[in-house]
Structure 1
Amino acid sequence: MIRLTYVVKDFEQMVEDWSKILKVKPDHHLLSLPASVGSGYLYANNINEAMSFLVMNVKFHDDVVLERKALNEIHLLLYFLHVNVADFYEIVSDVDKIKFGPNVKRRSIFLSSTNYPLEITYSKGTEVQLIGVYFKSSLVRKFFKKDIFHYLTEYSQVRLKDHDRKAISDEENKLLREIFETDLKDDFGKLVLHNRILLLVEKILNRFLVDEFPDSKTKGSKEEDLDGLKEVEFMLSEKELEKFPSIKGLSRVALMSGTKLKKRFKEVYGMKLYEFYNHNRLHKAKQWIESGETNIKEAAYRIGFANLSNFSKAFKKEFGFLPSQLKN
């Protein structure tokens, strides 16, 4: 049996700590499990100092215990779980316990808190797909009214009583599949993953609040807003989109005004529309040049730069070095 302990404040640091225990060097917070423990990976990213996420996609080759230590502070944790149980799967808090027998499939969303311990045991052969998202309380206070913040906090204190109260919807399942199919060895793939997780979190929190507070008005977006934003994201993520679309055209796709689109896109994706477009195309060009798929001039042309000097300036601004240095 393998036991891994952690404190949720920083999932990136957690992956680093586990890598030392497992004696495996992570690659930019991407940890591939050693064969003695299992197959698959763990990937963590700190979005900012108040929000962090973990993606786990593994099959264990031994019984594994994940032991979460309690903190004095109350911060929220949102888990998305897909578990295909081999022999058993057990969750234990400081006051209650749940155990599932062999050949059971569990699909659930679980809201937890950092102020109580939690121990999860997966038996050998169990397959786990998990996304964990950590929210510092200050971030939750910023986006929700005081009464809703207190309700979310109280809800997280029921321990395992309502651990599978929220089922995963078809739309959320689609986003989860996209997350687990993402190529994490690719910079562009990591950006897509980051965006998908933010969309997933906003969708489930919005659904949660609609269910629990049908008359409440929060800073979260409506479901149709998120669908529109995702369509815009797809457009701006096209590999060879040579020209930035007009705001008017993007607004028609998103079914919202240009002013609202610019505001909501920045809130959800953390970048302005053009900034997101430019970031994506430059990362794609970098990947082409590094792999030898194109030379510098061809890469610049494919992403819409007619002037090589302008491409080099934009490239250096994004990465801190010239594209010619990749070839050297």
Structure 2
Amino acid sequence: MIFSFNSTPGFDFMTYFARHIGANIDNDLLVIPDNIGTGYIRKLSFSAEFKITMHHYVLKEDLIIKRNTSGLGNELITIFFYSNEQTLGIAFDNNPDIQFSERDDSAIQVTSNNLNSTIRFPAGHIIRYAVIAIMPAYLKNLLALNKLNSTLETITSPGSTFLFFENMTAEAKLLLKNLSAVDMSDGLSQFYMQIKVQELLYLLFHKLSKRESLPHQSINSSDVARLLHIRNEVISDLGTPPVLAELAQIATMSETKLKQLFKQAFGDTIYNYYQRARMEEAAFLLKQGKRSVAEVGYELGFTNLSHFSRLFQKHYGFTPKRFSSQT
């Protein structure tokens, strides 16, 4: 199933999606029809400038959501929280969708509404995500910071084109899950939900506020597609360190531009991102309990197991051996 829409400030996703699948909306709740799947979509409007739409369902066929640029510039910020056991496929500028890490079940995407994107959700699996739509000026006032770093300044400035990614913390995952369990028949539920959604925003923007303040580089849908492809290249073989010159050739970018845009979008250098993914993969393999510490280290390209142990301890606070014994 393909659902395509233009991302204009006045667009209401749930209304048009309900028409697309032949469903009714009752009190801002759309129940997925039995012939399509099970679950629901719920919308909450805290103001004309601040809304959230929560999705929780299992579908009988793949769902492909295509967002087309409004052509109006950054009149709306979209913040996409995805937490699921399945990989998330994201594509920009009609390129094949790029999968997030199979070991990372969640992601946060912050984007202006003037970038095309395609998100693919697999059939037969629980889909759980939330989308916050918020106006730049409203968000800036909500953050109430005297000084913004370059990332927050870009996000809250009308006319900016941007896309930033963040991993989701365990705290944010739990909060997102709890939001879907709130009893909306309670008279104070709307008030409670607004507080909790603002808490979700706090967790995200607290991380974004810690990013190094660098001049924002202009970006378009083609650039983003290349960055996602490079990210996929970096994590596809965690036993082999990335080579910048090779990645730049794949991206058809200069090495300088690739380094700048990658750090801007993902908040870290390519090599540091690779090392973090490497440690996360090590933790995943150790949790499975099917490999020894040495086997995991060698599988991830470490010839010196003492070096592997030091890096792992720096990342998690435990040696691989101790981490493995506690899982």
Q: 1:101 to 1:62 in 2, by over 3 A?
A: farther
Aligned partners of 1:2 and 1:62 also within 8 Å: no
Aligned residue in 1 for 2:229: none
Aligned residue in 1 for 2:82: 81
Query: What CA distance in whole angstroms lies between the structure 2 residues aligned with 1:77 and 1:150?
Result: 16
Aligned residue in 2 for 1:171: 171
Q: Tell me which moved more, 167-176 or 63-72.
A: 167-176
Query: What CA distance in whole angstroms lies between the structure 2 residues aligned with 1:20 and 1:139?
Result: 30
Aligned residue in 1 for 2:217: none
The residue type paired with residue 155 of structure 2 is L
Aligned residue in 1 for 2:31: 32
Q: 1:23 to 1:185 in 2, by over 3 A?
A: farther
**Cα deviation, residue 54, structure 1:** 1.0
**Cα deviation, residue 141, structure 1:** 4.0
Aligned residue in 2 for 1:126: 125
Alignment of 1:150 with 2:149, yes or no, is no
Aligned partners of 1:16 and 1:29 also within 8 Å: no
Q: 1 or 2 for the larger relative contact order (CA 8 Å, sep ≥6)?
A: 2
1:233-284 per-position Cα deviation (integer Å, ceiling 9, x unaligned): xxxxxxxxxxxxxxxxxxxxxxxxxxxxxxxxxxxxxxxxxxxxxxxxxxxx
Query: What CA distance in whole angstroms lies between the structure 1 residues aligned with 2:61 and 2:101?
Result: 15
**Cα deviation, residue 196, structure 1:** 1.0
Aligned partners of 2:83 and 2:173 also within 8 Å: no
Q: 1:109 to 1:23 in 2, by over 3 A?
A: same
1:51-70 per-position Cα deviation (integer Å, ceiling 9, x unaligned): 22111111121111112121
Query: What CA distance in whole angstroms lies between the structure 2 residues aligned with 1:174 and 1:83?
Result: 12
Q: Secondary structure at the match of 1:35?
A: coil
Query: What CA distance in whole angstroms lies between the structure 1 residues aligned with 2:115 and 2:16?
Result: 21
Q: 1:36 to 1:105 in 2, by over 3 A?
A: farther
The residue type paired with residue 80 of structure 2 is Y
Aligned partners of 1:36 and 1:62 also within 8 Å: no
Query: What CA distance in whole angstroms lies between the structure 2 residues aligned with 1:153 and 1:102?
Result: 29
The residue type paired with residue 64 of structure 1 is L
Q: CA RMSD in A?
A: 3.1
Q: 1:189 to 1:49 in 2, by over 3 A?
A: closer
Query: What CA distance in whole angstroms lies between the structure 2 residues aligned with 1:208 and 1:101?
Result: 20
1:148-185 per-position Cα deviation (integer Å, ceiling 9, x unaligned): 4433369x8454xx54xx22222222312221221234
Aligned residue in 2 for 1:3: 3
**Cα deviation, residue 8, structure 1:** 5.2
**Cα deviation, residue 211, structure 1:** 3.8
Q: Secondary structure at the match of 2:52?
A: strand
Query: What CA distance in whole angstroms lies between the structure 2 residues aligned with 1:77 and 1:212?
Result: 22
Aligned residue in 2 for 1:310: none
Query: What CA distance in whole angstroms lies between the structure 2 residues aligned with 1:147 and 1:169?
Result: 21
Aligned residue in 1 for 2:112: 113
Alignment of 1:1-328 (within 5 A): 1-5=1-5, 7=7, 9=9, 13-71=12-70, 72-74=72-74, 75-85=76-86, 89-94=88-93, 97-100=96-99, 106-142=105-141, 143-144=144-145, 145=147, 148=150, 149-152=152-155, 157=161, 159=163, 163=165, 166-212=166-212
Structure 1 spans left out of the alignment, 5+ residues: 214-328
Q: Secondary structure at the match of 2:209?
A: helix
Q: Secondary structure at the match of 2:201?
A: helix
Q: 1:185 to 1:57 in 2, by over 3 A?
A: farther
Q: Tell me which moved more, 54-63 or 139-148.
A: 139-148
Aligned partners of 1:8 and 1:134 also within 8 Å: no
The residue type paired with residue 24 of structure 2 is K
Q: Larger Cα Rg: Structure 1 or Structure 2?
A: 1
Structure 2 spans left out of the alignment, 5+ residues: 214-327
TM-score by length of 1: 0.54
Q: Secondary structure at the match of 1:84?
A: coil
Query: What CA distance in whole angstroms lies between the structure 2 residues aligned with 1:176 and 1:60?
Result: 20
Query: What CA distance in whole angstroms lies between the structure 1 residues aligned with 2:85 and 2:174?
Result: 18
Q: Secondary structure at the match of 2:110?
A: strand
Identity %: 15
Query: What CA distance in whole angstroms lies between the structure 2 residues aligned with 1:189 and 1:153?
Result: 28
Q: Secondary structure at the match of 2:27?
A: coil
Aligned partners of 1:33 and 1:39 also within 8 Å: yes
Q: 1:115 to 1:174 in 2, by over 3 A?
A: same
Q: 1:89 to 1:78 in 2, by over 3 A?
A: closer
**Cα deviation, residue 115, structure 1:** 0.8
TM-score by length of 2: 0.55
Q: Secondary structure at the match of 1:178?
A: helix
Q: 1:2 to 1:192 in 2, by over 3 A?
A: same
The residue type paired with residue 25 of structure 2 is P
Aligned partners of 1:66 and 1:119 also within 8 Å: yes
Q: 1:198 to 1:102 in 2, by over 3 A?
A: closer
